[in-house]
Amino acid sequence: MRNSTYLKMGLNMLVHSKLRSWLTIIGIVIGVGSVIGIVSLGDAMEANVQSKLAEMDLTNIVISPGYTKASSNLHGGPPPGMGGGSSTDSELTDDDIDALQGMDSIQYIAGSISGREEVKYAGETATLSITGVDPQVWKYMTSLKTQSGRLLEPADRYVAVIGSSVASETYDQDIGVNQVITINNKSVRVVGVLEEEGMGDDSKIYMPIDGAVELIEDAKEDVYDSITVKAKSEDLIDELTEDIEKKLMVSRHIVQEDDKDFSVIASKSMAESVTEMMSSMTLFLGAIAAVSLLVGAVGIANTMFTSVLEKTKEIGTMKAIGAKNRDILMIFLFNSAMVGLVGGILGVILGSFVSSGLQAMMGSDMTGGGGVRFTLMLEGLALAVLIGVISGVVPAYRASKLKPVDALRYE
Amino acid sequence: MTFTEIINSFKTKLNPSKFMYSLEKEAIFYSESENSTEENNSGENLKSNPSFNSGDNSVNNSNAEKISRNKEVPLIKLTNVWKLYQMGEVEFAALKGINLEIYEGEFLVILGPSGSGKSTMMNLLGCLDIPSKGTVYLNSKDISKLDESELAIIRGQMIGFIFQSFNLLPTLNTEENVLLPLEFQEEDRQIARQKASYLLEIVGLSEKKKNLPSQLSGGQRQRVAIARSLAVNPPIILADEPTGNLDSKTGDYILDFLDGLNKREGKTIIIVTHDLELIKYATRVVYIRDGEIEKIEARTKDEPGTENEPNLN
């Protein structure tokens, strides 16, 4: 018997199948739909993160006090010395910068301080994060860009560059270039407004470190909350990170890894771990969706078993008029493959809706928008057919092994 | 060529008296011809065959020359055949040492009450089952020595089945049902469709090609089943109570048709039944009771009523 005949017979069975088969198909539709939806949502989010990361400067290495691997980049907690978090009361000072100064791979090195202070403007007060940076090198090290005004210049002292949301959202009245804000009762002139960045960086205020040290209460001269190193090239990052660690351990007289009181984190490795996190999240959600596919597969198998039972007499008849075991096997396999295929097609459609629905809910900020990849659709279809075939194998085999006499006698 | 053209060409080109002959040999679409050695010498009888709606009702009594070839080598031979069933701890013998030879061109009626073992015998004759003891030879081949797929090939090519309950596939339409055996034989599609429409023409169901079995009457269904059984042009037609589910008029039509196949084409017809009425068509009757052959009776065939076209419905 030819494949086209198997196809025709399988299709005929599908077309004439009962409501039960369609319920089975719904199981596959939901399974494939959720897998496709979630995977393509994950894809979109990952692509979005990737594009954000591409804009990022990946040559930066941040050194921060305390050894808290996970969150050493997140400032705003109690400053060192207060014994906050798991960080020890270690601090980074000019000595550390001196120790690193002159390393071959380092292009720029600068310390920065940060703190949250009350910022007044036009009679309103808000608590904002102030970051003190080295105006000599900041404009070479940062990837931030201004939408108006300029970045900090070496001669600046009591001036500020503000994030876009500080400029337009924090206060009722928008802050423009050359306006004056008050930080801890000190007047500071705004010289630049940054472009919108997203991810919480828009509500920061950047100042020259010399000015900031006076305004931030807990800050001390020559003590930094973090030291940022810019490498000469991205390729040197891994090596440089290690070298910095070694050097600092020597200069800070630390012998054992366990006693380390600082962390060195490359923005590149952060980027990598973010990407990794995104894909493992997608994988996790996808796995949950796959469970529903599994349930769908069991449903197909169940329906196929019932169908074989129901069609016992027909199988007997077909065998009597010349069907070989293989013919019966193939007819039923084609049928269950087609159940999978139909479920897959509907599932891909559902998945596209689910994906675009979720993306709409999360906003284009998190996802890049865009539909389901074509290859993902094909994969979904292939998966559905595969599931159909696998769950149809045993019932089809049993159908093919029916003895013609017994099958004909079956009522 | 469209169907109508084909049918028309059949109608015009072929002398009705050679109609069946052509089914056997001439028609372009019969490629396999394991049975075509047979010489057809009964053409003049065709007019009385109810399968031809020729409108020519002239009675023609000239009997077909008895198909007497191959009298020496039986088509089917059963030697000391036993069929045992395990019923719990007891072994039950459905057939107890059957010896029977069936020759080509016979119209054999196997007659027995229910429980006599006749269905078991039909299963063995149809290669649907193999004996527990003894041998069934088909064309001098021992069927117990064949595996399942070889049996399937034999069934598909040698035997046309007609069942009491028609056994059409409910999801296939009339034409597809007739095409099915040809599909199993991987017959060329075009030729297969020509054959199918030809056969449906013969059984008078050309108009019902696209109907599902559920849209047909019992008699029509059985005619579809007959067309299906003839699709691969098998030398043997095996019918299990073919008229059991039909009223007597429709039943007569079916039997006349089978009789025609036997007479004009020399097809070997084996009918398994409990209905004494059927023996009038038989050239030989095998009485079976309690798994044993009670007697075998050779008959001179009665002429089927040919004065009237049987009611097709």
ipTM: 0.75
Alpha-carbon torsion angle A172, A174, A180, A185, nearest 10? 30
Place of tokens 């998190």: A366
B chain contacts of residue A321, beta-carbon cutoff 8 Å: 155-156, 160-161, 180-181, 184, 228-229
CB pairs under 8 A between A and B: 76
Greatest alpha-carbon pair distance for chain B in Å reads: 65
State the pLDDT at residue A332.
94
A chain contacts of residue B228, beta-carbon cutoff 8 Å: 321
A chain contacts of residue B172, beta-carbon cutoff 8 Å: 12
Mutate to test the interface with B, among A319, A321, A338, A402 (most CBs of B within 10 A): A321
**A:5-24 residues touching chain B, CB 8 A cutoff:** 5, 12-13, 15-16
Question: Half-sphere exposure of residue A403, counting CA atoms within 13 Å on the CB side?
Answer: 9
Average confidence score pLDDT of chain A: 84
Q: Is A318 on the interface with B (CB under 8 A)?
A: yes
State the pLDDT at residue A262.
85
Closest approach of chain A CAs to the CA of B305, in angstroms?
A: 31
Contact in structure between A27 and A299 (CB atoms under 8 Å): yes
State the pLDDT at residue A292.
85
How far is A24 from A22, CA to CA, in rounded Å?
5
Domain assignment present for B123: no
Q: Is B84 on the interface with A (CB under 8 A)?
A: no
Q: Is A329 on the interface with B (CB under 8 A)?
A: no
Long-range contacts, A387-390 (Cβ 8 Å, 24+): A387/A28, A387/A31, A387/A293, A387/A296, A387/A297, A387/A300, A387/A340, A388/A28, A388/A300, A388/A336, A388/A337, A388/A338, A388/A339, A388/A340, A388/A341, A388/A343, A389/A333, A389/A336, A389/A337, A389/A340, A390/A297
Is the pLDDT confidence value at A54 over 60? yes
Domain assignment present for B40: yes
**B:21-80 residues touching chain A, CB 8 A cutoff:** none
Strands of the B141-142 sheet, one edge to the other: B90-102, B76-87, B133-138, B141-142
* Inter-chain CB proximity B156 and A317 less than 8 Å: no
Q: Is B153 on the interface with A (CB under 8 A)?
A: yes
**B:209-268 residues touching chain A, CB 8 A cutoff:** 228-229, 232
State the pLDDT at residue B71.
60
Domain assignment present for B92: no
What's the average model confidence in pLDDT over A56-62?
Answer: 81
Q: For A117-144, what is each residue's pLDDT tens digit?
A: 889 888 888 898 999 998 888 888 887 8
* Inter-chain CB proximity A405 and B153 less than 8 Å: no
β-bridge mates for residue B287, sequence order:
B111, B295
What's the average model confidence in pLDDT over A210-234?
Answer: 87
Give percent above pLDDT 70 in chain B: 73
Closest approach of chain B CAs to the CA of A47, in angstroms?
A: 49
Q: Is A313 on the interface with B (CB under 8 A)?
A: yes
Is the pLDDT confidence value at B202 over 60? yes
B chain contacts of residue A15, beta-carbon cutoff 8 Å: 171
B chain contacts of residue A318, beta-carbon cutoff 8 Å: 169, 180, 184
Domain ranges for chain A, please list them. 3-53+273-409, 108-231
Helix (H) / strand (E) element for A201: namely none
* Inter-chain CB proximity A408 and B232 less than 8 Å: no
Domain assignment present for B242: yes
Closest approach of chain B CAs to the CA of A396, in angstroms?
A: 16
Q: For B97-148, what is each residue's pLDDT tens digit?
A: 999 999 999 999 999 998 898 889 999 999 999 999 999 999 888 998 999 8
What's the average model confidence in pLDDT over B223-250?
Answer: 92
- Pick B1 or A344 by higher pLDDT: A344
* Inter-chain CB proximity A322 and B155 less than 8 Å: yes
**Which CATH number does the domain housing residue B30 bear?**
3.40.50.300
State the pLDDT at residue B5.
53
Query: CA separation (Å) from B22 to B36, B40, B57, B126?
Result: 11, 10, 21, 26
Query: CA separation (Å) from B29 to A347, B22, B182, B263?
Result: 45, 10, 11, 22
State how many domains chain B has: 1
Structure tokens at A6: 């198997």
Closest approach of chain B CAs to the CA of A324, in angstroms?
A: 5
Domain of B294 in residue numbering reads as 3-52+105-116+146-298
DSSP B70: T
Q: For A316-331, what is each residue's pLDDT tens digit?
A: 999 999 999 999 999 9
Give the nearest chain B residue to A327 (CA atoms): B184
- Measured over the CA atoms of residue B41, residue B46, residue B52 and residue B53, the dihedral's sign is positive
State the pLDDT at residue B60.
38
Contact in structure between B136 and B154 (CB atoms under 8 Å): no
* Inter-chain CB proximity A324 and B149 less than 8 Å: yes
